[in-house]
A and B are shown apart, each in its own frame.
Chain A
Amino acid sequence: MTASVDTDIIAVAREQVLERGEGLSQEQLLQVLKLGDDRLAELLQLAHEVRMRWCGPEVEVEGIVSLKTGGCPEDCHFCSQSGRFPSPVRSAWLDIPGLVRSARETRATGATEFCIVAAVRGPDARLLSQVREGIKAIREDGNDIQIACSLGMLTQEQVDELVAMGVHRYNHNLETARSHFPNVVTTHTWEERWETLRMVREAGMEVCCGGIIGMGETVEQRAEFAAQLAELGPDECTMNFLIPQPGTPYEQYEVVEGRDALRTVAAFRLAMPRPLLRFSGGRELTFGDLGTKQGMLGGINAIIVGNYLTNLGRPAAQDLEMLDELKMPVKALNQTL
């Protein structure tokens, strides 16, 4: 008599991901993403169990700020900061006192990470100098928050400079599946982004990499993207949901439907049992209050609080109240991954 093999994907995931800590393959993720709405609650429950088992109950809280806004030479079709599209976003630089204030506001929420972001292809000497001075000023302000940066594509020399500045984590999103990337960006390649991530990892910085859901990718490409991220093995995966930005090529795109978005969150957790999975831009629009809670109970274990780069988020206090209500403690600064 032969043992029966369970082919139900949730049962398979329970054994493979929850029990053994092995992420699902691309083919398995596609099965998850094709599950009906009648299985969604069960799927979210499993993703939550996986998160609790392999990550624990803590939630990592982060704040972000745009150091250099707008005027980017790249053509990322989702982005209101590209200089190539008639978006209403005008170029701006945040001064050092403003950066210090932003870091202070972020630390006051209990956040452990503060990410300095610039809309550029890659940093030039002026930008790196501003980042260096900014980090120095944040430390002189007595702020011990961990600093992350997101400054586009890097050279090896720039990677080394950021390490020397004490940058803890580097964010560089692959944005979407490799097969879909040429439809989203034409001014650089997915492989160029991957190369920056490789250098960041080898230099000892933590790697933060994710993307945006809802940019016209197929469900097969969502599965592909999750599998590619799993292959990269980031310390943190950031999940954004498209906010159709006025003036951009994606202005008329529909916001991702809430249940599809939740299914995608759960699938990403089942692809990557251990990394931080961070709720990021677009969550307010896509999920609303109820959906945000469901996401937190469906695999998410990190959030950006407060505002984003060019859009506004929920007030930080509202998210912290939610975490308290869900009995999810905010990760303390002295804890490491």
Chain B
Amino acid sequence: MDVNAEFCARCGTAAAEGDHAHCAVMLASIDPPRFCVECGRRMVVQVTPAGWVANCSRHGERTSTSPSVG
């Protein structure tokens, strides 16, 4: 998980609260981010054969090629 993240990109809860070790494993292997790491909003995510694009209504687009994706 991005060390500067406010929210977990997988479960959407505060990154500083609870244990997100499983979330980190899943994000590193099979899950695209589902929640914005800045505000915790649920994002619209499109998975494609070679990547993903995630859109937060407040913070814009992130992609699998973006740095600090989650």
Contacts and interface: CB of A to CB of B under 8 A. Distances in A.
Interface of A: 63-66, 69, 88-92, 94, 98, 101-102, 105-106, 109, 243, 246, 284-285, 305-313, 316
Contacts of A63: 49
Interface residues of B, number: 20
A78 B46 CA distance: 19
Interface of B: 10-12, 29-32, 34-35, 42-52
B48 A102 contact: yes
Contact of A90 (B11, B31, B45, B52): B45
A65 B30 CA distance: 15
17 contacts: A63-B49, A66-B46, A66-B47, A69-B45, A88-B10, A88-B11, A90-B44, A92-B44, A94-B46, A105-B48, A106-B49, A246-B10, A307-B48, A308-B47, A309-B47, A311-B31, A312-B47
Contacts of B46: 66, 69, 92, 94, 98
Contact of B30 (A64, A90, A285): A285
A4 B50 CA distance: 56
Nearest to B33: A88
Contacts of A305: 49
A65 B46 CA distance: 9
Given A105-B50, A246-B11, A306-B50, A312 B30 contact: yes
A284 B48 contact: no
Contacts of A316: 49-50
A89 B34 contact: yes
A312 B29 contact: yes
Contacts of A101: 48
B17 to A, nearest CB: 17
A313 B45 contact: no
A94 B50 CA distance: 14
Query: What are the 5 closest A-B residue pairs judged by CB atoms, nearest first?
Result: A306-B49, A88-B34, A63-B49, A105-B50, A311-B30
Nearest to A306: B49
A90 B51 contact: no
Contacts of B11: 88, 246
Given A66-B46, A109-B49, A311-B47, 9 more contacts: A90-B42, A284-B30, A306-B50, A307-B50, A307-B51, A310-B32, A312-B31, A313-B30, A316-B49
Contacts of A243: 30
Given A88-B35, A285-B29, A285-B30, A307 B52 contact: yes
B29 A284 contact: yes
Given A284-B29, A284-B30, A88 B42 contact: yes
A307 B32 CA distance: 10
B10 to A, nearest CB: 8
A74 to B, nearest CB: 20
Contacts of A105: 48-50
